[in-house]
């Protein structure tokens, strides 16, 4: 079920920082600017790089850089493997889904929530 985790929060902060500060940045400097411990930020950056949202540059002038310019909150959540479902029955794990009668309502809410996440940018 959806809960804002530290990974999600750090990913959002990192993407927002890179969006508003284009170019290549070292993890150390971004870590200081965002007040996030470097090992945690590095882990999030690696995850975002694996999702092709960031790229890293090696060498003396290396660092990370945003490559996906038009990114939604939904994209970021998926990249850090967050569960986007608002309830257990949103993903079909509820044993009572056939008898409870609210599955269509929950499904509509889930679709609306997903749409909001997909159209929201930082």
Query: What domains are there in the chain, each with its CATH number?
Result: 6-70 (1.10.10.10)
At residue 35, the 3 state secondary structure works out as: coil
- The rounded distance, in Å, linking the Cα atoms of 75 and 23 is 21
pLDDT of residue 63: 94
pLDDT of residue 22: 94
Predicted TM-score of the model (pTM): 0.81
pLDDT of residue 94: 65
pLDDT of residue 98: 66
pLDDT of residue 104: 80
pLDDT of residue 1: 53
pLDDT of residue 112: 94
Cβ atoms of residues 25 and 64 within 8 Å:
yes
- The rounded distance, in Å, linking the Cα atoms of 22 and 18 is 6
Query: 45: closest CA among 6, 7, 3?
Result: 7
- The rounded distance, in Å, linking the Cα atoms of 3 and 6 is 10
Residue reference for tokens 């996440």:
117
Please give the average pLDDT of every successive group of 10 residues along the chain, which has 122 residues: 78 95 95 96 95 92 91 90 72 64 83 93 88
């Amino acid at each position: 079920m959806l809960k804002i985790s530290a990974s999600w929060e750090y990913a959002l902060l990192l993407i927002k920082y890179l969006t508003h500060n284009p170019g290549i940045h070292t993890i150390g400097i971004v870590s200081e600017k965002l007040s996030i411990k470097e090992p945690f930020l590095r882990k999030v950056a690696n995850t975002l790089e694996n999702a092709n949202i960031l790229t890293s540059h090696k060498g003396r002038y290396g660092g990370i850089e945003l490559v996906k310019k038009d990114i939604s909150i939904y994209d970021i959540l998926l990249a850090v493997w967050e569960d986007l479902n608002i309830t257990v029955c949103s993903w079909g794990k509820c044993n009572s889904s056939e008898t409870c009668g609210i599955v269509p309502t929950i499904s509509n809410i889930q679709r609306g929530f997903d749409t909001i996440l997909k159209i929201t940018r930082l």
